[in-house]
Amino acid sequence: MAKMIVGVDLGGTSIKLALLTNNGEFIDKWEVPTDKSDSGKHIPKTITIAIEDKLKQMDKTKEDIAGIGIGAPGSVRLEDGLIFAAVNLGWVNFPLKDILEKESGIPVIVDNDANIAAVGEMWKGAGNGAKDVVMVTLGTGVGGGVIVNGDVAHGISGSAGEIGHITVQLENGVLCNCGKTGCLETISSATGIARIANEKLQNTTKETVLKEMSNDSPITAKDVFEAYSNGDEVAEEIVNHVMRYLALVLAGVGNTLNPENIIIGGGVSNAGELLLKPLKKYFDEFAFTTVRDSTKLSIAKLGNDAGAIGAAYLVKKFITNEI
């Protein structure tokens, strides 16, 4: 019987673990808290114990595991699994693969979490097996994973996929967490949408349900899409504004790579068709004709499972060489 695979999605608050079949189906999922003390040096030990405990419960051993695939929140060098920097965990130049392999005695492959989610969607989700896929994650920030010819693009310093920091406003852009102004992230993240909505409420004289929604607490991105789905005109203006800039960037990425799929994930993507319809309209306006006609936009399908599934794919690709 083919060995099982461990998928790990490493976050600043919790470590999500999953045990998967060789074919990427879930056997079990569980999580443990992230111990960030001492600059995150205990994390490999935490992961090892979590896996050992699970194997014991199942009456299995390390021999039953083909490898551990990990998505880490930072820039990664694939070849040796070095984390250049993972600010949330306190890691700088942290040789995660080496340490975890020594600790656990199981082969390890590491990649950036957004990249691994993109790989998961490529394999089992909205990418549907395509070899050229771009995934953009709209959450607190805007992340990205880029797959070209079936392989994740990392670039020379592991910063490929920083789509959220593409400049979209040349004049009067808002300051981004990255230190620049006018980044896509300042507009199309959940945070950006909420900011734009709250600003708009201060400056509009139009009737809008957003006004009542803002009585108790500031408007959220979810509120905006909810109001939009009920035909609210001000919410529609906000959604159009946000999707126009997202489309501008995705058309640019589309013209650069002509991927088969551009997949929208993250919390904001729960808006589904409400998001996709205006996004496609503007994408068609900005994309080169052939790209417009061949690159498909779609909503991510795997949600939080994308990371573990992507990690399993990387184990099959780089550890057991089955792909």
Q: Which is nearer to a second copy, 167 or 214 (CB)?
A: 167
As a whole number of angstroms, the distance between CA 91 and CA 264 comes to 28
Beta strand extents in the chain (DSSP E only): 4-10, 14-20, 26-33, 65-72, 75-77, 82-86, 91-95, 108-112, 133-138, 142-148, 151-152, 261-265, 296-299
Q: Residues 290, 304, 322, 323: which binds a second copy (CB under 8 A)?
A: 290
Q: Residues 163, 239, 306, 314: which binds a second copy (CB under 8 A)?
A: 163
For 164, the token pair is 């959220």
- Beta strands 151-152 and 296-299 are unpaired
Q: Residues 42, 45, 60, 180: which binds a second copy (CB under 8 A)?
A: 180
What phi, psi does 117 have (nearest 5°)? -65, -40
As a whole number of angstroms, the distance between CA 118 and CA 56 comes to 32
Q: Which is nearer to a second copy, 76 or 201 (CB)?
A: 76
User: In the bound complex, what is the minimum distance in angstroms from residue 171's beta carbon to a second copy?
Assistant: 11
Nearest to 139 by CA among 70, 220, 214: 220
**Within 13 Å and on the Cβ side, how many CA atoms surround 295?**
27
Size, binding site for a second copy by CB under 8 A? 47
Check binding of 217 to a second copy (CB under 8 A): no
Check binding of 159 to a second copy (CB under 8 A): yes
> Is the backbone of residue 254 left (phi > 0), alpha (psi -120 to 50) or beta?
alpha
User: In the bound complex, what is the minimum distance in angstroms from residue 184's beta carbon to a second copy?
Assistant: 9
- Beta strands 108-112 and 133-138 are unpaired
Q: What is the DSSP letter of 316?
A: I
Check binding of 308 to a second copy (CB under 8 A): no
Check binding of 113 to a second copy (CB under 8 A): no
Q: Which is nearer to a second copy, 124 or 244 (CB)?
A: 244
Check binding of 75 to a second copy (CB under 8 A): yes
Q: Which residues of 289-322 are buried (b: 16+ CB within 10 A; e: fewer)?
A: eebbeebebbbbbbeebbbbbbbbbbbbbbbeee
Q: Residues 110, 248, 263, 306: which binds a second copy (CB under 8 A)?
A: 248
User: In the bound complex, what is the minimum distance in angstroms from residue 297's beta carbon to a second copy?
Assistant: 13
Q: Residues 64, 80, 151, 199: which binds a second copy (CB under 8 A)?
A: 151
Check binding of 166 to a second copy (CB under 8 A): yes
User: In the bound complex, what is the minimum distance in angstroms from residue 216's beta carbon to a second copy?
Assistant: 36
Q: Which is nearer to a second copy, 77 or 124 (CB)?
A: 77
Which residue stretch of 26-34, 115-123, 231-239, 253-261 sits at the interface with a second copy (rule: CB under 8 A)?
A: 253-261
**Within 13 Å and on the Cβ side, how many CA atoms surround 57?**
9
Q: Which is nearer to a second copy, 97 or 244 (CB)?
A: 244
Cα-based distances in Å from 42 to 15, 37, 72, 315: 12, 7, 15, 23
User: In the bound complex, what is the minimum distance in angstroms from residue 106's beta carbon to a second copy?
Assistant: 26
> Is the backbone of residue 264 left (phi > 0), alpha (psi -120 to 50) or beta?
beta
Q: Residues 19, 126, 135, 146: which binds a second copy (CB under 8 A)?
A: 146
Residues in touch with a second copy (CB under 8 A):
75, 130, 132, 144, 146, 148-149, 151, 153-163, 165-167, 170, 178-180, 244, 248-249, 251-253, 255-260, 285-286, 288-291, 293-295
